[in-house]
């Protein structure tokens, strides 16, 4: 996945730490300005550390705060 894909879908980068179990959202625009929109997210992971504890054992993905706020669809009983 490229930074362009994350930006086009209004998503944030999500750093998930395997040591402290922290999950930190980051703005992909700062990385795109520095590295270009065609930079691969997998390449960023090698140079990053956890913003909470500084560990290098992280997973880098994308996250949409808007999707997390959408209510789940509820099933309603049939009106008979």
Taking only the tens place, the pLDDT of each residue in 14-51 is 999 999 999 999 999 999 999 999 999 999 988 899 99
pLDDT greater than 80 at residue 72 = no
pTM attached to this predicted model: 0.75
Give the per-residue pLDDT at 80.
45
What are the tokens at 2?
């490229």
Q: Does domain 3-62 have CATH number 2.20.28?
A: yes
Give the residue, 72 or 9, on which the prediction is more confident. Answer: 9
Of 25, 24, 11, nearest in space to 3 by CA: 11
56: Cβ contacts below 8 Å, ≥ 6 apart: 48, 49, 50
Report strand pairing: 58-63 vs 12-17. antiparallel
């Amino acid at each position: 996945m490229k930074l362009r894909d994350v930006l086009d879908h209004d998503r944030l980068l999500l750093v998930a730490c395997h040591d402290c179990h922290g999950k930190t959202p980051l703005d992909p625009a700062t990385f795109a300005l520095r590295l270009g929109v065609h930079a691969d997210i997998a390449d960023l992971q090698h140079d990053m550390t956890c913003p909470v504890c500084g560990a290098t054992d992280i997973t880098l993905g994308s996250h949409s705060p808007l999707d997390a706020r959408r209510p789940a669809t509820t099933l309603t009983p049939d009106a008979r």
